[in-house]
Structure 1
């Protein structure tokens, strides 16, 4: 019974940790994409100003 409780606890914690890890990774990825997009827009805007 002790082992069963431990195994259940381990599986729940592992699944929870994996879920949080996946969410934080995808969140970081989207932030990175957003920052790269904004930087690209800003750079293009500055280049347009430089052309004028």
Structure 2
């Protein structure tokens, strides 16, 4: 997705949206949240980087 956004591929934002929807609908997310499982720093940096690519 990062490369798609960097190349300004028109499918990049849609792919990111689909992946985000799939992630948010994963039943394990609720389990992780209930267990207070923190997001890893690497994962946080990737999401921030993708968000930056999408807004530029």
TM over 0.5: no
Q: TM-score, length-normalised on structure 1?
A: 0.37
Greater relative CO (CA pairs within 8 A, separation 6+): 2
Q: TM-score, length-normalised on structure 2?
A: 0.35
Decide which structure has greater helix share. 1
Question: Which protein has the larger Cα radius of gyration, Structure 1 or Structure 2?
Answer: 1
